[in-house]
Amino acid sequence: MIAGLRAPRGGMRRELFWGLIFISPGIAYFLLFWIAPVVMTAVQSLWRWDANRPSEFIGLRNYTDLLGDPFFLDSIRASAGITFGSLVVGILIAFGLALLLDDDTLVGGRWFRLFIFLPVITDWVATGLAWQLIFLKGEGVLASLFYSIGLNDLATLRWTSTRELAPIALIIFIIWKTTGLYMIILLAGIRSIPTPLIEAARADGANPWQVVRHIMLPMLSPITIFVILIGFVSAIGLFEPVFLLTRGGPVEATKTLPLFIYEIFFEFRYGGYASAAAILFLLMTLAFAVVAARQLRMTAYED
């Protein structure tokens, strides 16, 4: 009896040993390229480290200076506005497209899904260069379109060089690039809803809006929170579209947190200050992710 009990334990130890061996490359990669840079950045944030003077330990002074820095606070507002604007509008459009493409009788539905998803797999830099031509004043694609329909005043808009329009231009670009991913996830969620439940609601006289409001939206709440989470994490850290289209201008209107950190580190060479900004950026992102993950766990429907 005792020997019979010891054998499974030995087998479990062997499985654990070989399991750790097989996942050790992934663990090493995570520690080397994720944890180690964060730890090094956190340490550097406690020092005054720049190109003009010797390094000096200053504790939390970089953090206190950042919290009083109007440029840092403006970058937080710019990041929040662009992120939430693109996320809210993008998810609404994605949900509408998912409802439309859920119809199997729609002619060319598979092709529509493919075309909508294609921007997701394209490169940010290549598409950013293309959108520079789209937003070009007087000569771009949008300008030509407005000229063709007689809206000459709109054709002369400076999309990427006007304080009011530059954030909108970035939001449009991000929505075009990311909506396909949200649509695919939401479409999969819609198709996972039991068909008899929807048919029973229709048999009871529910109209399409009531079906969406009282059945689909509650059933899709965990998936929607998941989409919000991945959308926020990806959008808040975007650097390429901002750098390519507006470079943070005009008048700091689109200088998001990644661009702020980039300029402080690479242009002004304030390494400690940039490291502190990066740590605060990480903490804000993690706080949102933790709240969303907790909400996701609370709203996940049970088996």
Q: What is the pLDDT of residue 165?
A: 92
- 3-state SS record for the chain: CHHHHHHHHHHHHHHHHHHHHHHHHHHHHHHHHHHHHHHHHHHHCCEEEECCEEEEECCCHHHHHHHCCHHHHHHHHHHHHHHHHHHHHHHHHHHHHHHHHCCCCCCCHHHHHHHHHHHHHCCHHHHHHHHHHHCCCCCCHHHHHHHHCCCHHHHCCCCCCCCCCHHHHHHHHHHHHHHHHHHHHHHHHHHCCCHHHHHHHHHCCCCHHHHHHHHHHHHHHHHHHHHHHHHHHHHHCCCHHHHHHCCCCCCCCCCCHHHHHHHHHHHCCEHHHHHHHHHHHHHHHHHHHHHHHHHHHHHCCCC
Residues 208 and 260 both lie in one domain: yes
Residues 76 and 144 both lie in one domain: yes
The whole-number average pLDDT for the span 237-256 is 90
In the predicted model, is pLDDT for residue 62 greater than 50? yes
Residues 32 and 133 both lie in one domain: no
Q: What is the pLDDT of residue 303?
A: 43
Residues 253 and 166: beta-carbon distance below 8 Å: yes
The whole-number average pLDDT for the span 240-266 is 91
Residue 85 lies in a domain: yes
In the predicted model, is pLDDT for residue 302 greater than 70? no
Q: What is the pLDDT of residue 190?
A: 92
Residues 31 and 173 both lie in one domain: no
Q: What are the E-state strand segments in the chain?
A: 47-50, 53-57
Residues in the chain, total: 303
**Closest alpha carbon to 97 in 174, 180, 207:** 180
Other CB atoms closer than 10 Å to residue 284's CB: what's the count?
Answer: 15
Count up the domains in the chain and report the number: 2
Q: What is the pLDDT of residue 8?
A: 57
Residues 89 and 223 both lie in one domain: yes
Residues 141 and 197 both lie in one domain: yes
In the predicted model, is pLDDT for residue 171 greater than 90? yes
Q: What six digits make up the tokens of 57?
A: 């330990």
The winner for highest mean pLDDT among 1-10, 89-98, 264-273, 290-299 is 89-98
Q: What is the pLDDT of residue 5?
A: 47
Share of the chain above pLDDT 70, in %: 95
Residues 165 and 114 both lie in one domain: yes
Q: What is the pLDDT of residue 2?
A: 46
> How far is residue 171's CA from residue 86's CA, in Å, rounded to a whole number?
5
In the predicted model, is pLDDT for residue 249 greater than 90? no
Q: What six digits make up the tokens of 196?
A: 């008899």
- Residue 222, preceding bond cis, omega within 30 degrees? no
Residue 263 lies in a domain: yes
Residues 151 and 202 both lie in one domain: yes
> How far is residue 200's CA from residue 85's CA, in Å, rounded to a whole number?
36
The whole-number average pLDDT for the span 55-62 is 91
> How far is residue 138's CA from residue 155's CA, in Å, rounded to a whole number?
6
In the predicted model, is pLDDT for residue 11 greater than 80? no
Q: What is the pTM of this model?
A: 0.87
> How far is residue 240's CA from residue 57's CA, in Å, rounded to a whole number?
33
Instruction: Kindly report, residue by residue over 121-163, the tens digit of the pLDDT.
Output: 999 999 999 999 899 888 788 888 888 888 888 888 888 889 9
Residues 269 and 157 both lie in one domain: yes
Domain of 12 in residue numbering reads as 2-44
pLDDT interval class at 9 (50, 70, 90) = low
Query: Which CATH number do you get for residue 234?
Result: 1.10.3720.10
Residue 147 lies in a domain: yes
Q: What is the pLDDT of residue 7?
A: 47
Residue 58 lies in a domain: no
Residue 129 lies in a domain: yes
In the predicted model, is pLDDT for residue 280 greater than 90? yes
Other CB atoms closer than 10 Å to residue 185's CB: what's the count?
Answer: 20
Residues 14 and 89 both lie in one domain: no
In the predicted model, is pLDDT for residue 102 greater than 80? yes
The winner for highest mean pLDDT among 94-98, 135-139, 191-195 is 94-98
**Closest alpha carbon to 95 in 272, 224, 3, 2:** 224
> How far is residue 20's CA from residue 2's CA, in Å, rounded to a whole number?
28
Q: What is the pLDDT of residue 202?
A: 85
Q: How much is the mean pLDDT over the chain?
A: 88
Residues 10 and 71 both lie in one domain: no
Q: What is the pLDDT of residue 301?
A: 47
Q: What is the pLDDT of residue 214?
A: 87
Q: What is the pLDDT of residue 173?
A: 95
pLDDT interval class at 4 (50, 70, 90) = very low
Residue 205 lies in a domain: yes
Residue 56 lies in a domain: no
In the predicted model, is pLDDT for residue 55 greater than 70? yes
Residues 132 and 8 both lie in one domain: no
Residue 214 lies in a domain: yes
In the predicted model, is pLDDT for residue 111 greater than 60? yes
